[in-house]
Amino acid sequence: MKLKYSIVLCFLCSFVFSQNNYFFSGKKWKDTDGVHINAHGGGIIFAGGTYYWYGEFKTEGKGGNTALKGVSCYTSKDLYNWKNEGIVLKAEQNPNSEITKGCIIERPKVVFNKKTGKYVMWFHLELKGQGYDAARAATAISDSPKGPFKFKKSYRPNKGVWPVDFKDEFKSATANESSLKSWSPEWLTAIQNGLLVRRDFDKGQMSRDMTVYVDDNEKAYLIHSSEDNLTLHISELTDDYLDFTKKWTRMAPAGHNEAPAVFKKGGMYYMITSGCTGWDPNEARSFSSKSILGPWKALGNPCTGPHAELTFHSQSTYVFPVQGKKDQFIFMADRWKPDNPIDGSYIWLPIKTADEKPILVWSDKWNLSDFKEN
C-alpha cells in the first residue's frame, strides 16, 4: 500500500511541476523536474512537433560563466513546460581542444539544414585563459536535435575578404590613424570608414555576441558583434551552414551594438540589439531593413512599460516564431547574474509591430492567448 501511495505522490509532484500555463517574466522558471531552467543566451527551433531550447549551462560562483559543462537542451510541446534533455555539446576534457573545460561558450543557436539533413550549432567561443581576446565563431553538428553535437571548428570570420559594399578608398590605412584618441569624433569616423576592418583583415574579423538567421530561401546568415563590439557584421553562410561565402556586410558601423536578435514579418526584416555595458542592462535598440544585408534603419527603443530604458533589466537573446500562429513572434532575453550565473532568469514577451516598428510591452504574466493580430 505504501508503494502505491508513493507512486501516486510522485505522479502528483511531477504533474504540479509540469503544468505551467503562463509565462512569468523574470521569475524562476522550473522544468518538469522542478529545477530552474539552465539554458542562458539561448535560441529555439521547432522540429517534429517539438520545441528545442538550447542555451549556456551556467554554474555557481563567479567562474560560472565559463563552460564547465557545455550547452544544454530542453524540449517542450507547448512552450510553457520544458523537459531537461541534458548537455548536448559537452565541454571536453582534452586540454588541447578549443572547447576544453573552462573555455567560454556563449549564445548557442541551432538551425536545421534541409539540404544536408543536419542540425548545425553556431556559438561564440573564447579560448580558455584568454579572456575575450579570441573572439571566435564556432560550429558543431548533429543528426538529431537532441544531439549529441560534435564540435567541428572555430573561425575568425571573413579572413582576407572585404565587405561587399566597402569603398576602395577605405581599403588603405591613413598615416595618422594610430594617433587618434579613442571616442573622439575623428576616431569614430575612422571606425566607420573601416579602421578595425583593416586591422583584422589578414587574421579574420572578430565575432562575439551572435545569432543565426535562416531566410525563406534557406540562405543562412551569421549576425555577430565585431570590431571590438563597435559594429555588427552580417555574414552569409555556405549551403551546408558550416562556413562563409565571402559575402558579408557591416551594420551600424561604430554604433556599439551587441546581442542581435532577428525576425522577418510582412517582407520586412527587424533586428533588436542592446548597447554594450558589460553584464549590466541598457536600453534596447531596434532596426528594420528590406534586405537582410541592409541598409538598416534605426528605429529606437522597442520597449514600453516599467524599466523600458533598461530593457526590463534584461538583454536580448533571440526571437522565434510561434508555430500555428501566423506572424506571431516571441522575444527572448536574459537577466544576467554575473556573481552567481546559475540564478539568471528569463524575459519572454510577445512582439507587436506598428508602423513597421517592433514593440515590446512589459507583462508580468501572459500566455499565447494574449497574442493579438497586428
Ordered by start, the domain boundaries in the chain are 23-155, 257-374
Largest CA distance in the chain: 87
CA gap 241, 219 in Å, rounded: 8
DSSP 341: G
Instruction: Please state, as a whole number, how many other Cβ atoms lie within 10 Å of the Cβ of residue 78.
Output: 11
Going 271 to 45 to 52 to 353, the CA torsion angle's sign is: positive
- CB burial of 299-329 (b: ≥16 within 10 Å; e: otherwise) equals beebbeeeebebbbbbbbbbbbbbeeeeebb
Regions in the chain scoring below 70 on pLDDT: 1-18, 175, 372-374
Architecture of the CATH domain 23-155:
5 Propeller (2.115)
Q: What is the pLDDT at residue 373?
A: 52
Locus of grid cell 537582410:
292
- What pLDDT does residue 196 have? 97
pLDDT of residue 372: 67
The CATH classification number of 257-374 equals 2.115.10.20
Judge whether 23-155 and 257-374 match in fold. yes
> 314 near 300, Cβ under 8 Å?
no
Pick from 118, 146, 70: which is nearest to 241 by CA? 118
